Amino acid sequence: MRAKRQYLFIDFEFTMPERNVRMKDFYAEIIEVGIVAVVDDQVTEQFSSFVTPLKFPRLTERCKSFLHITQQQVDKGLSIFELVKKLEEFNQLNYETTIVTWGNMDMKVLRHNCLKAGVAFPLKAAELDLSMEYKRFFGDQNQTGLWKAVQEYGKEGTGRHHRALDDALTTFNIFKLVEKDKRYLEKPEPTTIGDRIDFSKLLNEFA
C-alpha cells in the first residue's frame, strides 16, 4: 500500500540582536512558529504559537519593531520543550514526510535551539528549501524573498509578512504554483496531427 505523503510547511520568527550592540554569546532563538500540515493535497492542520526564548528571554527593541511582536506575547508562549513535543506529533510512521521551508535558516535555528536546550531534533523527514527550488526552476541569479516570489507569480502573500503562520501559508501557496508549473513542463500539450505533418509539403507532392 502506498504511504501517504505529508508536507509540513514551517516558518519560524527569531530573536534579533540590537544593531551595533555586542551581546555576549547571543544566538537566534525561535519566538514564533507557524505550521501548515498537508496530507495528500489536503490541509490537515494549521498551528500557530509564540515561543518563549530560553537563553535571552528579553526581546530587543529592534526585534519588537521589526516583527511587531511584543514581550507579553512571547512571555505567554510555548517553551522550546513544548515546541519540540508539538513538532514530534507530526512524525507519523506511515507517512512519507517532507519539511518545506523558504530558505535554510528555519531548520538551522531549530537544530541549534534543540542543541542549546539539550533536546533531540524532533522531526524525522526529508527537508526541502523551496527558495532554492524556486531559484533553480526560474534560473534566478539570486535567492528571492518569499513575498517577492509570490508577487512574481502575480499573487499576494497570505496575511502579514513576518508572521509565522502567514509565511507558512504563503510558502504552501508558492509550492503549489511551482509544482503546477513543473507538471506543465513535464507533460507538454499533446501535438495535433497538424503539428506532426507539414501539409504544405504533402500537398506539393500531390500537385
Q: What is the DSSP annotation of 11-23? A: EEEE--PPTT---
Q: What is the CATH number of the domain that holds 33?
A: 3.30.420.10
The pLDDT tens digits of the residues spanning 117-127 come to: 999 999 999 99
162 in active site: yes
| Beta strand 126-129 pairing with 30-39 | unpaired
Q: Which residue do the cell numbers 531549530 mark?
A: 110
* Residue among 61, 162, 186, 189 flagged as catalytic: 162
The residue segments making up the domain with residue 106 are 4-206
- Report the SS3 class of residue 89: coil
In this structure, the dihedral spanned by the alpha carbons of residues 89, 93, 94 and 95, taken in order and rounded to 10 degrees, is: 60
Q: At what angle do helices 105-117 and 80-88 cross, to 10 degrees?
A: 120
* 207 pLDDT above the threshold of 50: no
161 in active site: no
- Reading the block at residue 67, the C-alpha cell is 516583527
Across the range 130-143, mean pLDDT stands at 75
Domains contained in the chain, number? 1
**In this predicted structure, what is the pLDDT of residue 20?**
81
Which position has the higher pLDDT, 21 or 203? 21
Alpha-carbon separation of residue 161 from 76, 156, 166, 170, 195 (angstroms)? 22, 10, 7, 9, 46
What's the pLDDT band for 202 if we cut at 50, 70, 90? very low
* 149 pLDDT above the threshold of 50: yes
**In this predicted structure, what is the pLDDT of residue 139?**
65
**In this predicted structure, what is the pLDDT of residue 19?**
86
Distance CA 90, CA 85 (A): 10
**In this predicted structure, what is the pLDDT of residue 100?**
97
